[in-house]
Amino acid sequence: MSVEPDRSATPRLLAMVVAVLLLVSGCQRHEAPAEISTEPTTPRQGGTLVVAISNDIQGINPLISGLDTQTTAVLDRLFLHLFEEQSDYTDHSPTFEPRLVENLEWSPDHTTLDLLLRSGVSWSDGVPVTADDVRWTWQAQTDPELAWGYAQSKENIRDIEVIDRLRLKIHFHQRSPSQLAELNEGVILPKHAWSELPFSQWRSNGSWFVDHLVVNGPFDLESWTRQEQIVLLRNATYHEPGLPRLDRVVLRVVPQKQNQIGELLAGEVDFVEQIPPAEVSRLEQRGIQILRFWARQFNYICWNTSRPLFADAEVRRALSLAIDRQEIIDTLWYGFARIAVSPILTSTWAHDPDLQPLPFDLEASRQILRSRGWSDTDRDGLLDKAGEPFSFELMTNTGSQVRIDAAVMVQEHLRRAGIEARVRQLEFNTVVSRALEHDFDALLGGWDIDTSLDLTYAFHSRSIDEGYNFGQYSDPEVDRLIEAAALETDPTERVRLLREIESILHRSQPYTFLWEPQRLSAASQRLRDATPSTVSPYFRLREWWLAEAD
């Protein structure tokens, strides 16, 4: 399924199986961006940015307001993290720019972190942000009654100790490459305003937080009309001089993508996140900016290795060779995607550039299958073995037309190899349930991954019962390497371990890795310095500006 860009040490559950939700057609490739006027070049203050969004936010309290991307993206403009993860994971592990933190120092064994908070940062009611806010937020995040959805990201934090008003000690159970990311997961919340309500009552009193809202981020909430629009107002108490540049951001709920595009072309909105690839050429011809980056996502077919058909790695390899993935990309993505190679994305720092995707080679696929005893003995066009045909069900979810179309294309590719794949579309929650219960033959889905590169979630044996190893893949060497990589802090050695895992998965093909997509956003010519990224569709929104003030 599909997880949105995240900063946690494990992939998001709700993002796990599906969710590109793009309607695509045709096969034209178009890469050249429109020529956009750059005058004036000096950022301007003021103006109202209008953004079209598909879904409303679920609430104001990040710990109880669901796990959806839209809510997280908006609330991250109201509340600050300790750090801001940067989009620089292509060349090395992502760096974290201090936000609430002024200085940090690790102990020699890297299990204790001294933090000095930035002075002069306050909540919108004038109360200073202090170390007590940080500790209390951690207590809320880990409270069992509150049951925050990402509490697992805090499991390595043993304690957070307040030294004085601006100083803390973070005590970890063990050293790992994900310590800073784990600490940074989740925004810092206002103890003085929200501690009046016990954690046990938070989930039953969601509206209370709107009435008691104070923020420390660049924007405040001016108004929220449910299912219509969210209006963010420049936070006058924000600590960075001259930021944010915008006076207001209006997020207008426009459920249909074509309606969003229509409002963009009509000049009624300035920014649309995640447009269909089929629209790129038309929008560029109309002078619309196309902002693109490689998503932290790969789409796949997961083979249930507990089923006899898919227990043999060579057979799984033959299946991958029979699927023309480039044709899928050209037809459904207009070229705005590339063939996936492994769960370590092509754009990440640890990916092995020498590891090439399996080619489309129907004859090689047929040879492997013949060597494994598969032949068409009754000449009905379908391979069989010991009287059983090579026939299985390929499951995917309704609501994602691109995956449905891809499943149909895979069905045709495999038919040419003498294999019957019966496409079955099921509602999202049913797909999730069956995947977790391993009740399927093959599943076409997708993962949005974080930058920890911890592959436990889908490829470690212990995740068969406790995680998302839907296909019940098990390899003791992969288990060992995953465990070693999760603790290794030396970058060179960690790359070596991760590339060993990559190589084994490439050989054994527990997944057929289909494609890695680009994210495509559209903006009016007057919007400047917009930097949607894998971190957030509104990354550094505080620095966006309009060339023409309202």
pLDDT of 10 strictly over 50: no
pLDDT value, residue 451: 84
What's the Cα-to-Cα distance from 537 to each of 52, 53, 90, 363, rounded to whole Å? 12, 11, 18, 43
pLDDT value, residue 39: 53
Model confidence band, residue 228 (pLDDT cutoffs 50, 70, 90): very high
pLDDT value, residue 94: 87
Model confidence band, residue 67 (pLDDT cutoffs 50, 70, 90): confident
pLDDT of 417 strictly over 70: yes
Percent of the chain whose pLDDT exceeds 70 = 92
What is the mean pLDDT of the segment spanning 443-469? 94
| Domain at 297-519: CATH architecture | Roll (3.10)
| 3-state secondary structure (DSSP) of residue 423 | strand
Q: Which range is most confident: 15-29, 59-73, 300-314?
A: 300-314
For the chain, residues classed under CATH 3.10.105.10 are 297-519
pLDDT value, residue 473: 98
pLDDT of 172 strictly over 70: yes
Question: β-strand 271-272 against 48-53: which pairing, if any?
Answer: parallel
Could you tell me if 131 and 162 are in contact, meaning their C-beta atoms sit under 8 angstroms apart?
Answer: yes
- pLDDT tens digit string along 287-336? 999 999 999 999 999 999 999 999 999 999 999 999 999 999 999 999 99
Model confidence band, residue 481 (pLDDT cutoffs 50, 70, 90): very high
* Mean of the per-residue pLDDT values of the chain: 92
pLDDT value, residue 36: 42
For the chain, residues classed under CATH 3.90.76.10 are 62-202
The conformation of residue 223, written as its DSSP 8-state character, comes to: E
Q: Cite the DSSP H helix spans in 343-400.
A: 362-371
Provide the strand spans (E) within 63-111. 83-85, 96-98, 101-106
pLDDT value, residue 41: 78
pLDDT of 109 strictly over 80: yes
Count CB-CB contacts under 10 A for residue 256.
11
Fold designation for 62-202: Dipeptide-binding Protein; domain 1 (3.90.76)
Model confidence band, residue 92 (pLDDT cutoffs 50, 70, 90): confident
**Residue among 232, 319, 285 at smallest CA distance from 510:** 319
- pLDDT tens digit string along 68-86? 889 999 999 999 999 999 9
Whole-model pTM: value is: 0.86
pLDDT value, residue 9: 37
Q: Give the CA angle between residues 178, 184, 190 to the nearest 5°.
A: 160
- pLDDT tens digit string along 335-369? 999 999 999 999 999 999 999 999 999 999 999 99
